[in-house]
Amino acid sequence: MFPYRVRYQTIEFDGLDIHIRSLRDKQQFSDTLGEAEMLGISSAQWSLFGVVWDSSQVLAHEMQDYPIADKRVLEMGCGMALSSLLLNARGADITATDYHPEAGSFLAENTRLNNGRHIPFLRTSWAETHPGLGRFDVLIGADLLYEQQHIEQLSGFIQRHASLQCEIILVDPGRGHYTGFTKKMQSLGYVHSRHKPQCCDYLQQPFKGHVLKFSRATDDQTASMI
């Protein structure tokens, strides 16, 4: 018996269905051991990891035909890890991270529901240092720039774990920190572009945000920044 209510849903992609066990709604809460409180996650924020947000669906649709051959992929702030589950089903080398203490157990259960291979998971904040996590060719995330301090924290995390030649793909619903984050990434040697999702008929309402892409190629100047 779960200490919170859950729901099961199937999210359809071209030729592929992903099954998700998530929280029933944003009113669910359980922190009996105080783990989330110790991590600074309030009762009001606790459920946010456990909902499939529109930004997550947009990111997953970006990933459904993304070239994955010979690429190591990291999903940052994965939440329900929809993109990780999709990429795993496609055979990608995918690793997921999130700060929430329940994210890992939901990922394990949802991987089982989809008969998928084990997805490596690390519970971490962007401020923490984990040399063993390594570097990735592609780093992805949805709705990560909640607050002003996330600009420095997220860009620093990316800098520590991005390969010299890499691509960063983020879906931003428009929380207002896009400009500051872009300037920071450009100062680190990344080239930037953004676009509106082409078709969002799988969402119940129009998506007002953008898909942000940052990339860099190997050169001596970039290497000196790492």
**∠ CA 142-211-154, rounded to 5°:** 45
pLDDT band at 117 (very low <50, low <70, confident <90, very high): very high
| pTM (global) more than 0.75 | yes
The amino acid occupying position 17 is D
Q: Is residue 4 part of a domain?
A: no
Which tens digit of pLDDT belongs to each residue from 138-183? 999 999 998 899 999 999 999 999 999 999 999 999 888 999 999 9
Q: Is residue 35 part of a domain?
A: no
Taking residues 51-78, report their average pLDDT.
97
- How many domains does the chain divide into? 1
Q: DSSP state, 91? A: T
Q: Is residue 38 part of a domain?
A: no
Is 213 within the bounds of a domain? yes
Question: Residue 124 is part of which domain span?
Answer: 52-225
| Residue 31 in domain | no
Question: Is 127 within 8 Å of 103 (Cβ atoms)?
Answer: no
Give whole-number Cα distances, 121 to 81, 98, 104, in Å: 10, 8, 6
Q: Is residue 9 part of a domain?
A: no
**For residues 177, 181, 183 and 187, what is the CA-based torsion angle, rounded to 10 degrees?**
160
Classify residue 14: in a domain, yes or no: no
> What's 117's domain CATH number?
3.40.50.150
Cβ neighbour number for residue 194 with a 10 Å cutoff: 14
Residue 6's beta-bridge partner residues?
A: 23
* Torsional sign, CA 58, 87, 4, 104: negative
Is pLDDT of 226 > 60? no
